[in-house]
Chains A and B, each alone.
Chain A
Amino acid sequence: MPADAAGLGRARAAAFVAPALLLIAGFLVFPALWTIYLGMTDYRLTGLAAAEPAFTGLDNVRRALDEDQFTHSLGLTLQFVVGSAVLGQALLGFAIAWLLRERHGALRRLVEALVLLAWILPGSVVAFLWIALLDREDGTLNALLGTPGTAWLVEHPMAAIIVFNIWRGTAFSMMLYAAALSSVPPSQLETARLAGASSWQQLRDVVLPRIRGHVLTNLLLISLWTFNDFTPFLLTNGGPGDETEIMPVFVYKTALFNGELGYGAALSVLMLLVNLVIALVYVRLLRAREAAS
């Protein structure tokens, strides 16, 4: 491959890249650095520290690591990610894609449309629907189950938002797996079947090895999305108490409701680091797979 495929020369190539780099610098790098700086101050939304924030170094980070609230919130977030994304969305999405793989026509279109609908509806609309569904007094779920007076969002708040997020986000996994499954050559499945492999054996020995890359990519994306998802706030407000105060809600409440912008910024940076760790783990797994093949 020649070093300068487009024949532009160094100067013109730089001129082409410059606008994009400027945008990235202005809208990504600068805010990120600014957040890190804010995280090292006691900046507040109101009061004296809003007018004259003081530099406090790593105090905010130390406070976060000392405080039960941070570890509590991180624990809830991991529950939320593992429960709703890694187990819920990925497994359910795969199951739907697998069951629908050889079907065409009305049934498949109907199921896909319903699953997709949950994904494309605006968050505020969906939150309203779920609040109505789970309402203590006139909720649809209580009417269906015959459990009047059960306040689902108060009594089982984590379970409620996990189920909510599975319902909300399964569409992406379903579509990605459906595409992945169609890339498995039918001839290989046919051969396995002729050799007497059961459905489970076909899945394990023929399908999964071919789509492992898709699985990892899917898990990477939905884990990061779920980790940063704010929609549960619309359902529970982080409550009751702090029982559903996942990281994005914790940061929001700290920075905006309590007005502790500096501490909130420090929490955002910590959250970013956790995101990076998740991303690194998956990228490692992907690399290891590529190296193996």
Chain B
Amino acid sequence: MVRTLTRRARATIGVAVAAAALAACGGSDADGDGGAVRLTISANAVLDGKNTEEAAWIEDWVIPAFEEEQRAAGVEVDVEFEPSGVDDEQFKTRLALDLQAGSGPDIMTLDGIWVGEFAQAGYLEPLPASAQPGGWDGWEQIPEAVQQLAAYDEQLYGIPWGTDGRVLFYNQELFAQAGLPAEWQPTSWAELLDAAEALGELDGVTPIQLNAGTAMGEATTMQGLLPLLAGAGEPIHDGTGWTGASQGLVAALGLYQDVYGGGLGDPVLQQETQGRDRSFQKFADDEIGILVEGDYFWRSVINPEGGTAPMEDRDDTVGWALIPAETPGAGVEGRDFASMSGGSVRAVNPASDQAELAYELLTFMNSAEAITAAAQDSARITAREDVNATVLADDPMLSFIADEVLPLTTFRPPLAEYPQVSVLLQEATGAVAAGDRTPAEAADEYAAGLGEVAGGAG
């Protein structure tokens, strides 16, 4: 009895030792591939899905061109793209978890608004001299305001590669049916509501889609509440403190009440998990009259070529207009119109084994040649003025954003508390849209929440 057990014990120990040895060998697998240096690029983009043109550009242009260039210099590089096609919040969570564990891609695409909190956490490091202004000549082409997308505490942490702006998109066919003009530009919220009322007469048409609630995430804040708040004359952060339950906030929430309480919007859609995608599809199906969105909607959603909700007759049917202030001149700095802008930034992972080469790839990806290639097939507003001058000429919508919207736009404060403030604003809009709170009540709840996350209003 004792003997068999001992033998079994020996066998067990043998297996355990073998397993441990195997596990130890596992680490060496990564060194395969003929000694090539490996770099990975990650972005929330995937072929035939979210941001497909960015994915196609990275896979078909950046990777071959960079590998070619390095091969000419005698370095064998193997660049890989890690695609992703999820909500931005999910992408951010995954990226933060990777970075926290000291892993993650070598180069990543970030929303400019994440730069502050990532930098504070030590997930990003300031650019080395070779990529700073003076070391890299590309910065001369990037306007000051756009540079701020990649800045935190007066340090640059990455390179911005594009920006955007928010407008009202409207369906000219539905406008014609409702007896509204094809060239439309409301100059106050009242005029916006008047047009919505007229659209409400049509069967099976939701007059206006103004994002509300937490299910839409940042899209609620960025193309819902913040442009309205700016149109009511108040920035969300005035440089010293956050805006609390102010008159402007109550007015902006009041517009939500007018839209969703007045049957001009679909409150249920705002709460559905896939509500934003569904609103896109409904707009493409001529079921939504007016929709507030960024130029992303034009480029990547209703684009007949490669959009996620393609609209064959986009160029003939879809019109756009500036988002009006509450009344003319009531906007921030006395403006008649308002918008919000954001943008993406590419940065290098400080934990990268190949940081030097990764920075080379980063500047390569932001060279005039590369950015032109990215914007060639599907125009977009890039960070580089030299590229914009050539690629935007053919697209009236994007030229409109670059010429009319960017001069009057505002950016979000790059502060670590911003994401939580944003969620509070989303909750406030959601409560008003669902009819659970009056604008004043929702504003007070927001202000109370603000006290918890950011020490109160300034």
Contact = CB atoms under 8 A, between A and B. Distances in A.
A135 to B, nearest CB: 9
B85 to A, nearest CB: 15
A241 B114 contact: no
B120 A154 contact: no
A48 B213 contact: no
A115 B271 CA distance: 32
A144 to B, nearest CB: 20
A6 B97 CA distance: 48
Interface stretch (B1-9, B252-260, B337-345, B403-411): B1-9
A7 interface: yes
Nearest to A256: B93
Nearest to A45: B96
A259 B430 contact: no
B123 interface: yes
B100 A258 contact: no
A27 interface: no
A236 B275 CA distance: 12
Interface in B247-296: 268, 271-273
A47 B120 contact: yes
Contacts of A239: 214-215, 271, 273
Interface string B318-356: 000000000000000000000000000000000000000
Given A50-B100, A136-B268, A241 B2 contact: no
Given A237-B215, A239-B215, A256-B93, A47 B416 contact: yes
Contacts of A8: 2, 5
B37 interface: no
B80 interface: no
A151 interface: yes
Given A7-B1, A237-B215, A241-B214, A46 B117 contact: yes
B272 A154 contact: yes
Contacts of A44: 121
Given A6-B5, A256-B93, A259-B96, A240 B271 contact: yes
A241 B123 CA distance: 31
Interface string B216-240: 0000000000000000000000000
A16 B9 contact: yes
Given A7-B1, A241-B213, A46 B96 contact: yes
Interface in A134-181: 136, 151, 153-155
A103 B215 CA distance: 48
A209 interface: no
B172 to A, nearest CB: 25
Interface string A43-76: 0111110110000000000000000000000000
A19 interface: yes
Contacts of A155: 268
A50 B121 contact: yes
B120 A48 contact: yes
Interface in A177-194: none
A257 B93 contact: yes
A279 to B, nearest CB: 31
A241 B271 contact: yes
Contact of B273 (A46, A237, A241): A237
Contact of B121 (A46, A235, A241): A46
Interface in B91-133: 93, 96-97, 100, 114, 116-118, 120-123
Contacts of A51: 120-122
Interface string A1-39: 000001110000000100100000000000000000000
A51 B153 CA distance: 16
Contact of B120 (A50, A153, A241, A256): A50
B177 interface: no
A19 B16 contact: yes
B89 interface: yes
A263 B67 CA distance: 45
A235 B273 CA distance: 8
B276 to A, nearest CB: 12
A222 B116 CA distance: 44
B357 interface: no
A240 B97 contact: no
Given A46-B416, A151-B272, A240 B213 contact: yes
Best-buried of A48, A151, A154 by chain B (most CB within 10 Å): A154
B373 interface: no
Contacts of A50: 100, 120-123
A268 B364 CA distance: 45
A48 B416 contact: yes
A136 B273 CA distance: 12
B434 interface: yes
A22 to B, nearest CB: 11
A240 B434 CA distance: 10
A47 B121 contact: yes
Given A46-B118, A47-B416, A239-B215, A154 B268 contact: yes
Given A46-B121, A131-B273, 20 more contacts: A7-B2, A8-B5, A19-B16, A45-B93, A46-B416, A47-B120, A51-B121, A153-B273, A154-B268, A237-B273, A239-B215, A239-B271, A240-B272, A241-B427, A241-B430, A258-B419, A258-B423, A259-B93, A259-B96, A259-B419
Interface of B: 1-2, 5, 9, 16, 89, 93, 96-97, 100, 114, 116-118, 120-123, 213-215, 268, 271-273, 416, 419-420, 423, 427, 430-431, 434
19 contacts: A6-B5, A19-B16, A45-B97, A45-B100, A46-B117, A48-B416, A50-B121, A51-B122, A131-B273, A153-B273, A237-B215, A237-B273, A240-B272, A241-B213, A241-B271, A241-B430, A256-B97, A257-B93, A258-B419
Q: Which 7 A-B pairs have the closest CB atoms?
A: A240-B271, A50-B121, A46-B117, A47-B416, A47-B117, A48-B120, A51-B122
